Structure 1
Amino acid sequence: MEQNFQTFHEACTFIQNLPYRRNQDKSNLNCVIEDNGGTCSTKHAFLKDFADKNGIENVQLMLGIFKMKGSYNKKLIPVLEKYGLNEMPEAHNYLRINGEIKDFTTNKSSAEDFRNDLVKEIEINPDQITDFKVEYHRNFLKDYLSNNPEIPYTLEEFWTIREACIETLQS
Protein backbone atom coordinates (compact mmCIF):
# COMPACT_ATOMS: atom_id res chain seq x y z
CA MET A 1 0.00 0.00 0.00
CA GLU A 2 1.58 3.26 -1.08
CA GLN A 3 0.33 6.76 -0.38
CA ASN A 4 1.17 9.91 -2.28
CA PHE A 5 0.37 12.95 -0.20
CA GLN A 6 0.19 16.36 -1.82
CA THR A 7 0.52 18.32 1.43
CA PHE A 8 1.73 17.86 4.98
CA HIS A 9 -1.82 18.52 6.20
CA GLU A 10 -3.09 15.70 3.95
CA ALA A 11 -0.45 13.33 5.38
CA CYS A 12 -1.36 14.31 8.96
CA THR A 13 -5.06 13.75 8.36
CA PHE A 14 -4.47 10.36 6.74
CA ILE A 15 -2.10 9.15 9.48
CA GLN A 16 -4.37 10.41 12.25
CA ASN A 17 -7.28 8.38 10.86
CA LEU A 18 -5.33 5.11 10.72
CA PRO A 19 -6.12 2.66 13.55
CA TYR A 20 -4.02 2.66 16.71
CA ARG A 21 -1.98 -0.55 16.81
CA ARG A 22 1.54 -1.73 17.44
CA ASN A 23 3.78 -2.24 14.44
CA GLN A 24 6.05 -5.21 13.91
CA ASP A 25 9.02 -3.23 12.55
CA LYS A 26 9.21 0.23 14.09
CA SER A 27 12.57 0.82 12.42
CA ASN A 28 10.74 0.97 9.07
CA LEU A 29 9.09 4.41 9.01
CA ASN A 30 6.67 3.25 6.29
CA CYS A 31 5.29 0.56 8.63
CA VAL A 32 2.26 2.75 9.39
CA ILE A 33 1.31 2.65 5.71
CA GLU A 34 2.22 -1.03 5.24
CA ASP A 35 0.45 -2.11 8.47
CA ASN A 36 -2.46 0.30 7.94
CA GLY A 37 -2.03 1.59 11.48
CA GLY A 38 0.47 2.55 14.12
CA THR A 39 1.30 3.96 17.52
CA CYS A 40 2.16 7.45 18.65
CA SER A 41 5.79 6.63 17.87
CA THR A 42 5.48 5.28 14.36
CA LYS A 43 2.81 7.74 13.25
CA HIS A 44 4.69 10.84 14.43
CA ALA A 45 8.09 9.58 13.23
CA PHE A 46 6.53 9.01 9.79
CA LEU A 47 5.15 12.56 9.77
CA LYS A 48 8.45 14.09 10.93
CA ASP A 49 10.29 12.18 8.22
CA PHE A 50 7.72 13.36 5.64
CA ALA A 51 8.18 16.96 6.80
CA ASP A 52 11.98 16.69 6.60
CA LYS A 53 11.93 15.13 3.13
CA ASN A 54 9.60 17.86 1.88
CA GLY A 55 11.43 20.84 3.35
CA ILE A 56 8.71 21.63 5.87
CA GLU A 57 10.34 23.55 8.69
CA ASN A 58 9.42 24.00 12.34
CA VAL A 59 8.24 20.41 12.79
CA GLN A 60 9.82 18.70 15.79
CA LEU A 61 9.38 15.09 16.89
CA MET A 62 8.97 15.13 20.65
CA LEU A 63 9.31 12.48 23.33
CA GLY A 64 7.37 13.47 26.41
CA ILE A 65 6.71 11.72 29.67
CA PHE A 66 3.27 12.35 31.11
CA LYS A 67 1.33 11.04 34.07
CA MET A 68 -1.17 8.69 32.45
CA LYS A 69 -4.27 8.55 34.66
CA GLY A 70 -7.81 7.31 34.43
CA SER A 71 -8.80 10.80 33.31
CA TYR A 72 -6.61 10.26 30.21
CA ASN A 73 -8.70 7.23 29.26
CA LYS A 74 -11.37 5.55 31.36
CA LYS A 75 -10.18 2.13 30.17
CA LEU A 76 -7.12 2.60 32.41
CA ILE A 77 -9.06 2.89 35.66
CA PRO A 78 -9.47 -0.87 36.33
CA VAL A 79 -5.80 -1.58 35.57
CA LEU A 80 -4.50 1.24 37.76
CA GLU A 81 -6.89 0.31 40.58
CA LYS A 82 -5.88 -3.37 40.39
CA TYR A 83 -2.29 -2.37 41.17
CA GLY A 84 -3.13 0.42 43.62
CA LEU A 85 -1.78 3.15 41.37
CA ASN A 86 -3.06 6.65 40.65
CA GLU A 87 -0.93 7.08 37.54
CA MET A 88 1.59 5.49 35.23
CA PRO A 89 4.35 7.64 33.76
CA GLU A 90 4.09 7.04 30.03
CA ALA A 91 6.37 7.99 27.18
CA HIS A 92 4.46 9.62 24.35
CA ASN A 93 5.52 10.86 20.93
CA TYR A 94 3.90 13.84 19.29
CA LEU A 95 4.88 16.76 17.13
CA ARG A 96 5.55 20.38 17.92
CA ILE A 97 4.66 22.43 14.87
CA ASN A 98 5.73 26.05 15.17
CA GLY A 99 6.03 25.40 18.90
CA GLU A 100 2.47 24.09 19.29
CA ILE A 101 1.82 20.49 20.43
CA LYS A 102 -0.01 18.39 17.82
CA ASP A 103 -1.05 14.81 18.49
CA PHE A 104 -1.96 12.68 15.47
CA THR A 105 -2.12 9.33 17.30
CA THR A 106 -5.85 8.89 16.62
CA ASN A 107 -8.64 11.01 15.22
CA LYS A 108 -9.70 11.70 18.82
CA SER A 109 -6.22 12.58 20.14
CA SER A 110 -5.49 16.05 21.38
CA ALA A 111 -2.69 17.82 23.19
CA GLU A 112 -5.28 18.57 25.85
CA ASP A 113 -5.30 14.83 26.68
CA PHE A 114 -1.81 15.00 28.22
CA ARG A 115 -0.47 18.58 28.17
CA ASN A 116 -1.33 19.30 31.83
CA ASP A 117 0.27 16.01 32.96
CA LEU A 118 3.47 16.42 30.91
CA VAL A 119 6.47 16.23 33.26
CA LYS A 120 9.40 15.98 30.84
CA GLU A 121 9.97 16.53 27.13
CA ILE A 122 12.86 16.24 24.68
CA GLU A 123 13.20 16.48 20.92
CA ILE A 124 14.26 13.28 19.17
CA ASN A 125 14.92 12.04 15.64
CA PRO A 126 12.67 9.49 13.90
CA ASP A 127 15.29 6.75 14.33
CA GLN A 128 15.10 7.19 18.12
CA ILE A 129 11.56 5.81 18.52
CA THR A 130 12.87 2.30 19.09
CA ASP A 131 15.72 1.49 21.51
CA PHE A 132 16.37 5.08 22.61
CA LYS A 133 12.73 5.70 23.55
CA VAL A 134 12.48 2.47 25.56
CA GLU A 135 15.76 3.13 27.38
CA TYR A 136 14.75 6.74 28.13
CA HIS A 137 11.35 5.62 29.42
CA ARG A 138 12.77 2.81 31.56
CA ASN A 139 15.34 5.19 33.09
CA PHE A 140 12.55 7.63 33.91
CA LEU A 141 10.52 4.84 35.55
CA LYS A 142 13.55 3.72 37.55
CA ASP A 143 13.97 7.27 38.91
CA TYR A 144 10.22 7.55 39.49
CA LEU A 145 10.18 4.38 41.58
CA SER A 146 13.23 5.56 43.50
CA ASN A 147 11.48 8.86 44.27
CA ASN A 148 8.23 7.10 45.23
CA PRO A 149 9.29 4.32 47.64
CA GLU A 150 5.66 3.69 48.62
CA ILE A 151 5.16 2.04 45.21
CA PRO A 152 5.88 -1.63 45.96
CA TYR A 153 7.03 -2.74 42.51
CA THR A 154 10.36 -3.51 40.90
CA LEU A 155 11.16 -1.84 37.60
CA GLU A 156 10.27 -5.05 35.74
CA GLU A 157 6.95 -5.37 37.55
CA PHE A 158 6.16 -1.71 36.93
CA TRP A 159 7.00 -2.13 33.23
CA THR A 160 4.64 -5.13 33.07
CA ILE A 161 1.86 -3.03 34.62
CA ARG A 162 2.59 -0.33 32.04
CA GLU A 163 2.29 -2.92 29.28
CA ALA A 164 -1.11 -3.92 30.68
CA CYS A 165 -2.17 -0.28 30.51
CA ILE A 166 -1.07 -0.01 26.86
CA GLU A 167 -2.78 -3.31 26.01
CA THR A 168 -6.00 -1.96 27.51
CA LEU A 169 -5.78 1.16 25.33
CA GLN A 170 -5.51 -0.98 22.18
CA SER A 171 -8.74 -2.86 22.87
Structure 2
Amino acid sequence: MDSYELLPHLDITPSGEICSKFLGMNIKTFQEACNYVHNLDYGYNSDTDDRWILFKELKGSCTPKHGVIAGLAEELQIPLYKNVGIYKFTEKIVKGAQKIIEKYKIPFIPMVHCFLEYNNYRFDLTEGNDNGKETSIEEFMHKEQVEPFISRKNEYLLYRRVLEEKLLLSPEFAGISLKIILKAREEAILLLHEKVKK
Protein backbone atom coordinates (compact mmCIF):
# COMPACT_ATOMS: atom_id res chain seq x y z
CA MET A 1 0.00 0.00 0.00
CA ASP A 2 1.08 3.60 -0.44
CA SER A 3 2.37 6.15 2.07
CA TYR A 4 -0.16 8.26 3.95
CA GLU A 5 1.86 11.29 2.81
CA LEU A 6 0.17 10.83 -0.59
CA LEU A 7 -3.28 11.38 0.92
CA PRO A 8 -4.93 14.71 0.06
CA HIS A 9 -3.75 17.73 2.09
CA LEU A 10 -7.02 19.57 2.60
CA ASP A 11 -8.76 21.39 5.42
CA ILE A 12 -11.98 19.94 6.78
CA THR A 13 -14.91 22.30 6.29
CA PRO A 14 -18.37 21.95 7.90
CA SER A 15 -19.74 20.14 4.85
CA GLY A 16 -21.62 17.34 6.55
CA GLU A 17 -22.09 15.23 9.67
CA ILE A 18 -18.73 13.47 9.48
CA CYS A 19 -16.89 16.74 8.87
CA SER A 20 -18.64 18.23 11.90
CA LYS A 21 -17.73 15.22 14.03
CA PHE A 22 -14.01 15.61 13.27
CA LEU A 23 -14.10 19.38 13.67
CA GLY A 24 -15.79 18.89 17.05
CA MET A 25 -12.79 16.75 18.03
CA ASN A 26 -10.44 19.57 16.94
CA ILE A 27 -9.27 17.53 13.93
CA LYS A 28 -8.95 20.12 11.18
CA THR A 29 -7.39 18.43 8.13
CA PHE A 30 -8.15 15.35 6.07
CA GLN A 31 -4.73 13.87 6.82
CA GLU A 32 -5.21 14.42 10.55
CA ALA A 33 -8.52 12.55 10.31
CA CYS A 34 -6.82 9.67 8.49
CA ASN A 35 -4.08 9.50 11.13
CA TYR A 36 -6.66 9.57 13.92
CA VAL A 37 -8.58 6.66 12.39
CA HIS A 38 -5.40 4.72 11.67
CA ASN A 39 -4.23 5.11 15.27
CA LEU A 40 -7.48 3.78 16.76
CA ASP A 41 -7.22 0.16 17.91
CA TYR A 42 -8.01 -2.54 15.42
CA GLY A 43 -10.97 -4.55 16.67
CA TYR A 44 -14.34 -5.99 15.78
CA ASN A 45 -17.35 -3.81 16.48
CA SER A 46 -20.68 -4.70 18.06
CA ASP A 47 -22.70 -3.24 15.14
CA THR A 48 -21.05 -3.16 11.72
CA ASP A 49 -23.94 -1.27 10.13
CA ASP A 50 -23.76 1.69 12.54
CA ARG A 51 -21.78 4.39 10.72
CA TRP A 52 -20.82 6.01 14.05
CA ILE A 53 -19.62 2.80 15.73
CA LEU A 54 -15.94 3.71 15.24
CA PHE A 55 -16.40 6.82 17.38
CA LYS A 56 -18.60 5.07 19.95
CA GLU A 57 -16.27 2.13 20.55
CA LEU A 58 -12.96 3.82 19.60
CA LYS A 59 -11.88 0.80 17.59
CA GLY A 60 -12.68 -0.81 14.27
CA SER A 61 -11.72 -3.25 11.55
CA CYS A 62 -11.11 -2.26 7.93
CA THR A 63 -14.84 -1.82 7.26
CA PRO A 64 -15.66 1.09 9.64
CA LYS A 65 -12.20 2.67 9.44
CA HIS A 66 -12.32 3.02 5.67
CA GLY A 67 -16.04 3.77 5.69
CA VAL A 68 -15.63 6.84 7.89
CA ILE A 69 -12.76 8.26 5.83
CA ALA A 70 -14.48 7.52 2.50
CA GLY A 71 -17.59 9.22 3.92
CA LEU A 72 -15.50 12.22 4.96
CA ALA A 73 -13.98 12.37 1.47
CA GLU A 74 -17.46 12.27 -0.05
CA GLU A 75 -18.58 15.23 2.08
CA LEU A 76 -15.46 17.18 1.09
CA GLN A 77 -15.83 16.17 -2.59
CA ILE A 78 -12.43 14.48 -2.61
CA PRO A 79 -12.18 11.73 -5.27
CA LEU A 80 -11.10 9.11 -2.74
CA TYR A 81 -13.16 5.93 -2.56
CA LYS A 82 -13.62 2.81 -0.50
CA ASN A 83 -12.89 -0.44 -2.32
CA VAL A 84 -13.73 -4.00 -1.36
CA GLY A 85 -11.04 -6.44 -2.41
CA ILE A 86 -10.94 -10.22 -2.36
CA TYR A 87 -7.56 -11.72 -1.55
CA LYS A 88 -5.89 -15.08 -0.97
CA PHE A 89 -5.97 -15.85 2.76
CA THR A 90 -2.96 -18.14 3.35
CA GLU A 91 -0.43 -19.02 6.04
CA LYS A 92 1.74 -16.16 4.75
CA ILE A 93 -1.03 -13.72 5.72
CA VAL A 94 -2.27 -15.35 8.96
CA LYS A 95 -0.65 -18.15 10.94
CA GLY A 96 -3.09 -21.05 11.24
CA ALA A 97 -4.65 -20.56 7.81
CA GLN A 98 -2.92 -23.64 6.38
CA LYS A 99 -4.81 -26.00 8.70
CA ILE A 100 -8.11 -24.69 7.34
CA ILE A 101 -6.87 -24.91 3.76
CA GLU A 102 -5.81 -28.52 4.24
CA LYS A 103 -9.04 -29.43 6.04
CA TYR A 104 -11.18 -28.27 3.12
CA LYS A 105 -8.70 -29.26 0.38
CA ILE A 106 -8.69 -25.85 -1.28
CA PRO A 107 -5.73 -23.82 -2.67
CA PHE A 108 -6.48 -20.80 -0.45
CA ILE A 109 -9.39 -19.11 1.33
CA PRO A 110 -10.90 -16.14 -0.52
CA MET A 111 -11.44 -13.36 2.01
CA VAL A 112 -12.61 -9.75 1.96
CA HIS A 113 -10.53 -6.73 2.89
CA CYS A 114 -11.28 -3.10 2.16
CA PHE A 115 -9.00 -0.16 1.48
CA LEU A 116 -9.03 3.37 0.05
CA GLU A 117 -8.15 4.40 -3.47
CA TYR A 118 -7.17 7.93 -4.52
CA ASN A 119 -5.96 8.50 -8.09
CA ASN A 120 -3.62 5.54 -8.62
CA TYR A 121 -2.74 5.20 -4.94
CA ARG A 122 -4.01 2.68 -2.39
CA PHE A 123 -4.19 3.22 1.35
CA ASP A 124 -4.91 0.79 4.17
CA LEU A 125 -5.72 2.49 7.46
CA THR A 126 -5.35 -0.84 9.30
CA GLU A 127 -1.77 -1.35 8.13
CA GLY A 128 0.51 -1.53 11.14
CA ASN A 129 -2.43 -2.12 13.49
CA ASP A 130 -2.52 -5.25 15.63
CA ASN A 131 -4.89 -6.83 13.11
CA GLY A 132 -3.84 -10.48 13.32
CA LYS A 133 -2.13 -10.43 9.93
CA GLU A 134 1.56 -11.16 9.41
CA THR A 135 1.87 -8.82 6.45
CA SER A 136 -0.08 -6.16 4.58
CA ILE A 137 -2.33 -7.25 1.74
CA GLU A 138 -0.99 -6.00 -1.57
CA GLU A 139 -2.60 -8.29 -4.14
CA PHE A 140 -6.29 -8.77 -4.81
CA MET A 141 -8.01 -11.21 -7.16
CA HIS A 142 -10.89 -8.76 -7.44
CA LYS A 143 -11.54 -5.21 -6.28
CA GLU A 144 -14.66 -3.10 -6.56
CA GLN A 145 -15.49 0.47 -5.58
CA VAL A 146 -18.35 0.63 -3.08
CA GLU A 147 -20.28 3.25 -1.13
CA PRO A 148 -18.57 4.29 2.12
CA PHE A 149 -21.04 2.58 4.45
CA ILE A 150 -21.91 -0.50 2.41
CA SER A 151 -23.96 -2.81 4.61
CA ARG A 152 -22.56 -6.08 5.87
CA LYS A 153 -25.25 -7.88 3.86
CA ASN A 154 -24.36 -6.13 0.60
CA GLU A 155 -20.64 -6.71 1.15
CA TYR A 156 -21.38 -10.41 1.64
CA LEU A 157 -23.55 -10.49 -1.51
CA LEU A 158 -20.68 -8.87 -3.45
CA TYR A 159 -18.36 -11.58 -2.13
CA ARG A 160 -20.80 -14.37 -3.11
CA ARG A 161 -21.22 -12.89 -6.59
CA VAL A 162 -17.47 -12.81 -7.19
CA LEU A 163 -17.14 -16.40 -5.98
CA GLU A 164 -19.92 -17.62 -8.27
CA GLU A 165 -19.07 -15.56 -11.35
CA LYS A 166 -15.29 -15.67 -11.18
CA LEU A 167 -13.54 -17.88 -8.65
CA LEU A 168 -15.62 -21.06 -8.96
CA LEU A 169 -15.11 -20.94 -12.74
CA SER A 170 -11.33 -20.89 -12.40
CA PRO A 171 -9.20 -24.06 -12.83
CA GLU A 172 -7.89 -23.69 -9.25
CA PHE A 173 -11.35 -24.29 -7.83
CA ALA A 174 -12.55 -26.94 -10.28
CA GLY A 175 -14.76 -29.42 -8.46
CA ILE A 176 -14.93 -27.32 -5.28
CA SER A 177 -18.40 -26.25 -4.15
CA LEU A 178 -19.50 -22.86 -2.92
CA LYS A 179 -20.55 -24.51 0.35
CA ILE A 180 -16.97 -25.67 1.02
CA ILE A 181 -15.54 -22.20 0.42
CA LEU A 182 -18.12 -20.60 2.73
CA LYS A 183 -17.35 -23.11 5.50
CA ALA A 184 -13.63 -22.38 5.16
CA ARG A 185 -14.38 -18.65 5.25
CA GLU A 186 -16.34 -19.04 8.51
CA GLU A 187 -13.36 -20.75 10.14
CA ALA A 188 -10.97 -18.13 8.78
CA ILE A 189 -13.09 -15.37 10.33
CA LEU A 190 -13.00 -17.18 13.70
CA LEU A 191 -9.22 -17.50 13.38
CA LEU A 192 -8.89 -13.75 12.77
CA HIS A 193 -11.11 -12.96 15.75
CA GLU A 194 -8.96 -15.21 17.91
CA LYS A 195 -5.80 -13.45 16.74
CA VAL A 196 -7.20 -9.99 17.48
CA LYS A 197 -9.18 -10.57 20.71
CA LYS A 198 -10.43 -6.97 20.86
Same fold (TM over 0.5): yes
Q: Percent identity?
A: 23
Q: What is the one-letter code of the residue matched to 1:62?
A: N
Q: Aligned pair 1:127/2:149, yes or no?
A: yes
Count of paired positions: 165
Deviation at 1:162, TM superposition (A): 0.7
Structure 2 counterparts to residues 6-155 of structure 1, below 5 A: 6-53=28-75, 55=76, 57-108=78-129, 113-115=136-138, 117-143=139-165, 144-147=167-170, 148-151=173-176, 154-155=177-178
Residue by residue over 1:46-87, the C-alpha shift from the partner in whole angstroms, topping out at 9 and shown as x without a partner, is: 11112222x151211111122222222234233323333331
Cα gap change, 1:159 to 1:21, in 2 (>3 Å): farther
Aligned equivalents of 1:159, 1:118: Cα separation in 2: 18
Q: Cα RMSD (Å) of the superposition?
A: 2.5
Residue by residue over 1:1-49, the C-alpha shift from the partner in whole angstroms, topping out at 9 and shown as x without a partner, is: x762222222222222223332232222111121222221111011111
- Give the 4+ runs in structure 1 shifted more than 4 A: none
* 8 Å Cα contact 2:54/2:64 also seen in 1: yes
Aligned equivalents of 2:118, 2:184: Cα separation in 1: 32
- TM-score, length-scaled by structure 1: 0.81
Deviation at 1:146, TM superposition (A): 4.5
* 8 Å Cα contact 1:70/1:87 also seen in 2: no
